[in-house]
Amino acid sequence: MKRRDLLKHLMEHGCALLREGGRHSWWQHSQAGRRSAIPRHGEINDHLARKICRDLGVSEP
């Protein structure tokens, strides 16, 4: 899955960028009070994308 597609999916479900780290971007879902790190790779493994969505409490893409 492309990183930009994952970020678009997260934004549609109410997630927002919390901060930029060294090699990851930290995103949070403010309503659920959860956050997760998203690597800055062009391509993100589907298994990792599902894990990020579960961590943030949003539906899987």
Q: Report pLDDT digits (tens) over 30-51.
A: 898 999 999 999 999 999 999 9
> Is the per-residue pLDDT at 15 higher than 90?
yes
Question: Is 3-56 a CATH 2.40.10 domain?
Answer: no
Answer for the pair 9, 61: CB distance below 8 angstroms, yes or no.
yes
The whole-model pTM stands at 0.92
List phi, psi (to 5°) of 34: -120, 155
Q: Which residues contact 25 (CB under 8 A, 6 or more apart)?
A: 17, 19, 37, 38, 40
